Amino acid sequence: MDPIVSLLSSLLENVRPLDAGEPAQYIPELASADPERFAMAAVGPRGVVRSVGEDNVEFTIQSVSKPFVLALALAMHGRDHVLARVGVEPSGEPFNAISLEPNTGRPANPLVNAGAIATTGLIPGSDRHERTATIVAGLSRFAGRALTVDEAVYESESETGDRNRALAHLMRSYGVLHENVDEVVESYFRQCSVLVTVRDIAVMAGTLAFAGRNPLTGEQVVPESVARDVVSIMTSCGMYDFSGEWLMRVGLPSKSGVAGGLVSVAPSQFGVGVFSPRLDSHGNSVRGSILVERLSREFGMHVFDRHESITRPGIAVERTSEGLFVRLGGELAFSGAERVLVTLRELIHGADVNYPVFLDVSELAHLHPAALTALEAQLRDLGTQVRIIQ
């Protein structure tokens, strides 16, 4: 078994016994979700998607769609145009709060319902079908495959959607939403009803993590600057009024959805997706949140961890008569292991199998256990000629 998959699997199993919370109850399709379902996927810079648990179960994307539709709107209209319609500050209020900025009438940010509806309104389309088609196509580019809408969920969302209609009418009364309220709101309900797997949302998160370039398809879905803006906004506002504590504890820009989906972005490192339908009082997946917190800690993924120190001075390569010495300095976290392997693969590729390769980690100031696991496991796959000097 792939050693990283093995690590992920062990994390998943540790968290699985937690059974707090319950699935969203406001529509039958969500209320009847199997609460035991649990899955996680992660994608690295080279597009390898690793997943564990029920990774082929489809669920509705719900609010996880918000940062990606925001990215589409930013790519189409530019930052200034979008900011005229929606702010980027946490609201200090629940996700469905009925509050707009006093002077501008803008919703607080694009990741609360009001702001997400305003953002959906920015996606062009002569009617709800055209707008929906554009959105689904955009989300599909983030996911790297053609996504579809769950019409039953859409119908239920629309039936119970008075609060979102209220938000849309309110924004229209402020001139923040220019479009036809009914058209926009129905598009929004369809956007929330797009079906995804945990692998899909990991790739979507990965597209943001790797500067707008889908690691699976290689497509530059949105410009780098747009990806950076979206990651910034997810940092500030992605976990609603828990965003500050989430940044401190977990350190990964994230966004959850009411069906149990959760995406996390480790910039330049990983895109992560989790799925578990039981929600806490904030509407976040209980096991999903804890799993991401542990993943971040275990793999050293906090954005303010000193990732860069792993390459200070980085990787020094010296060819001697005894063999090829690859010396690592600084710290090595899980995220650095992958890079080291890239370098090693290139060095070994086509090399004389009798010329030994030594990976010297003895001078590392700190070596994270998960990094050593990953190195050992992958070196085994490469062949026996690489020896680790500890």
Q: Note the residues at the interface with a copy of itself (CB under 8 A).
A: 87-92, 98-99, 108-109, 160, 162-163, 165-170, 172-173, 181, 211, 224, 228-229, 231-233, 235-237, 241-245, 247-248, 251, 267-268, 302-309, 311-319, 339, 342-343, 346
> Is residue 63 flagged as an active site residue?
yes
d(CA 24, CA 339): 40
Q: 43, 49, 51, 63: which is the annotated catalytic residue?
A: 63
Task: Determine how β-strand 270-275 pairs with β-strand 315-319.
Answer: unpaired
**Which one, 42 or 111, has the nearer CB to a copy of itself?**
111
Task: Kindly state the smallest distance separating residue 335's Cβ from a copy of itself, in Å.
Answer: 8
> Is residue 321 flagged as an active site residue?
no
296 labeled part of a ligand binding site: no
Classify the C-alpha dihedral 63-69-73-75 as positive or negative: positive
> Is residue 240 flagged as an active site residue?
yes
Q: 136, 240, 250, 326: which is the annotated catalytic residue?
A: 240
**Which one, 145 or 297, has the nearer CB to a copy of itself?**
297
**Which one, 9 or 343, has the nearer CB to a copy of itself?**
343
**Which one, 125 or 238, has the nearer CB to a copy of itself?**
238
Task: Kindly state the smallest distance separating residue 233's Cβ from a copy of itself, in Å.
Answer: 6
**Which one, 88 or 196, has the nearer CB to a copy of itself?**
88
308 secondary structure, DSSP code: G
H-run or E-run covering 270? strand 270-275
d(CA 114, CA 101): 11
Task: Kindly state the smallest distance separating residue 16's Cβ from a copy of itself, in Å.
Answer: 26
CB 260 within 8 A of CB 254: no
- Nearest to 111, CA basis, from 253, 281, 274: 253
Task: Kindly state the smallest distance separating residue 305's Cβ from a copy of itself, in Å.
Answer: 7
240 labeled part of a ligand binding site: yes
> Taking the CB of residue 175, how many other CB atoms lie within 10 A of it?
10
Q: 15, 52, 66, 185: which is the annotated catalytic residue?
A: 66
Token couple for 336: 């650095």
Residue 273's DSSP bridge partners are 41, 263
> Is residue 153 flagged as an active site residue?
no
Q: 15, 91, 154, 188: which is the annotated catalytic residue?
A: 188
Half-sphere exposure of 168 (CA within 13 A, CB side): 23
**Which one, 6 or 311, has the nearer CB to a copy of itself?**
311
Task: Kindly state the smallest distance separating residue 223's Cβ from a copy of itself, in Å.
Answer: 13
Token couple for 218: 């290689």
- Nearest to 186, CA basis, from 171, 207, 168: 168
> Is residue 188 flagged as an active site residue?
yes
Task: Kindly state the smallest distance separating residue 25's Cβ from a copy of itself, in Å.
Answer: 15
d(CA 84, CA 287): 37
CB 308 within 8 A of CB 346: no
Q: 86, 258, 272, 326: which is the annotated catalytic residue?
A: 258
113 labeled part of a ligand binding site: yes
Using alpha carbons only, what angle is made at residue 358 by residues 356 and 361, rounded to the nearest 5 degrees? Answer: 175
d(CA 209, CA 45): 9
164 labeled part of a ligand binding site: yes
CB 271 within 8 A of CB 203: yes
What are the binding residues? 63, 113, 157, 164, 188, 240, 258
User: Which residues form the catalytic set?
Assistant: 63, 66, 188, 240, 258
What are the binding residues for substrate? 63, 113, 157, 164, 188, 240, 258
